Amino acid sequence: MYGLGKKEGKTEHFNLIKKLVLLKNVMVVRYRSHVIQEMQKHNNSFVAYSLGNCLFDDTVSITGRWMVKQIPENKKSFILEVEIVDGTLIDVEYVGFINDDIDGLKFYDIKDY
């Protein structure tokens, strides 16, 4: 397990993922939380619980009545690179990035997150 963020979500999703990685060699990438969450490697399986929020901006409803404002935690994301050769997980690498309002796109080491 990599100590990046924490996993959040529905217990039944985590139970299903746990069963899958015990039965098969799988790669699972979850989404929806909009914040970076932990990653786990189990034997030849790999799970990324959330890659973050990528490149989104504040969101305004179509009526203009409400706005969802971005906060520092959901302006961060990372690019995940997984090398698989002949069905075997060889390597996992990642680089973090943040969409900074002042400087634009900046890269950072997500281990420092």
Sequence spans of domains, the chain: 11-112
CA–CA gap between residue 56 and residue 43 (Å, rounded): 34
Does the pLDDT at position 3 exceed 50?
A: no
Q: Do you know the residue count of the chain?
A: 113
Q: Convert the pLDDT of each residue in 65-108 to its tens digit.
A: 998 888 888 888 899 999 999 989 999 999 999 887 778 888 88
110 within 8 A of 33, measured Cβ to Cβ: no
The answer to whether the beta carbons of residues 16 and 28 sit under 8 Å apart is no
Rounded to a whole number of angstroms, the distance between the first and last alpha carbons of the chain is 15
What's the rounded Cα separation, in Å, for the pair 62 and 65?
Answer: 8
pLDDT digits (tens, 9 = 90+) for 20-76: 999 989 999 987 778 888 888 988 999 998 888 877 778 888 999 998 888 888 888
